[in-house]
Structure 1
């Protein structure tokens, strides 16, 4: 495992997951519910920024590694899954939306692993729709973790719920895209 700043940022993102979750379980005497929401959402945003930043630095400094390529998406999926499960428990997100998003992440991870074994990873490389899906998920989760109406007249919980529904639709769309791209291999035909 190469020890470089991009990989360290990925490890930091993984280590932030229990901090984000733990924030919501602190006693109210330590942090008020509003402070928990603000602190937890802020930690999640910071973790999401490290996701972008570690990839940027790895490409810029030519520090791409097989280990980093493995760890980065694992960190992303752990962060999203943990946050969604927390939001369901806090009654801020519907379980069926969380199941769609987490189920897609598992399915596409398995598809990418299988395609790598076949030597066809290019057919399931990250696409624009995948990046759009990730952005929508990060926004939705952040807004739902925040939960507080920070802008008068803007119902944060409703906005977060709408964003999560959009993220789930993009999740299904991106899954369809990746499955369509992998279909020749899944169907037993070789691509040109």
Structure 2
């Protein structure tokens, strides 16, 4: 296994630790800070694995499969933890998660078609990913500030800011999902 794939695998391994610290607020002091550190390390591995794979010609089918899967597992885990903690609405999370399943399904169908079509990320997909990652980071940071007593949820609009960020992510997720369905409708027709 090459270095790029090891970094991707590390991101998957970090997910349960991230989830533990996100949900261990009652038993682990500053658990959100630990979760943020783990999320940051996982995000760095996401950037590093791709750069290393391309620069040193380490691109593998395993990496092509595992890298987007690792990203989705990390993001979905964060969003499910947010719902559990009351930081995000379940319906917003459901839309974001459903889009990930739909687009992954379209990619699988396209890759398995006669043309072996590889679907690259669109600008809308990249905006969706960026907005979701920013929302996750900002929401965790806001709760770290509450945890440290720098702000209080009563005097600072933590939930309003969190909701706005999640709504923006949800809108971009919906738009990118609809665009994928529209752009690759022919792939779906030929395999129907």
TM-score tier by shorter-chain length is 0.7 to 0.9
Aligned to 1:175: 177
SS at match of 1:121: coil
Aligned to 1:163: 165
Report the number of matched residues: 183
Aligned to 2:108: 113
Cα gap change, 1:107 to 1:85, in 2 (>3 Å)? same
Q: Report how far residue 112 of structure 1 moved.
A: 0.4
Q: Report how far residue 187 of structure 1 moved.
A: 3.1
Map 1:31-46 → 2, pairs under 5 A? 31=29, 35-46=30-41
Cα gap change, 1:27 to 1:110, in 2 (>3 Å)? closer
Cα gap change, 1:166 to 1:29, in 2 (>3 Å)? closer
CA contact (8 A) 2:7 2:45 kept: yes
Map 1:42-191 → 2, pairs under 5 A? 42-118=37-113, 119-122=115-118, 124-146=119-141, 147-149=143-145, 155-188=157-190
| C-alpha separation in 2, matches of 1:132 and 1:60 | 24
Aligned to 1:7: 5
SS at match of 2:184: helix
CA contact (8 A) 2:109 2:187 kept: no
| C-alpha separation in 2, matches of 1:56 and 1:28 | 38
| C-alpha separation in 1, matches of 2:17 and 2:47 | 20
Gaps of 5+ in 2: none
| C-alpha separation in 1, matches of 2:112 and 2:176 | 21
TM-score scaled to structure 2, two decimals? 0.86
| C-alpha separation in 2, matches of 1:140 and 1:158 | 12
CA contact (8 A) 1:84 1:98 kept: yes
CA contact (8 A) 1:81 1:102 kept: yes
CA contact (8 A) 2:21 2:28 kept: no
Cα gap change, 1:27 to 1:175, in 2 (>3 Å)? closer
CA contact (8 A) 2:11 2:42 kept: yes
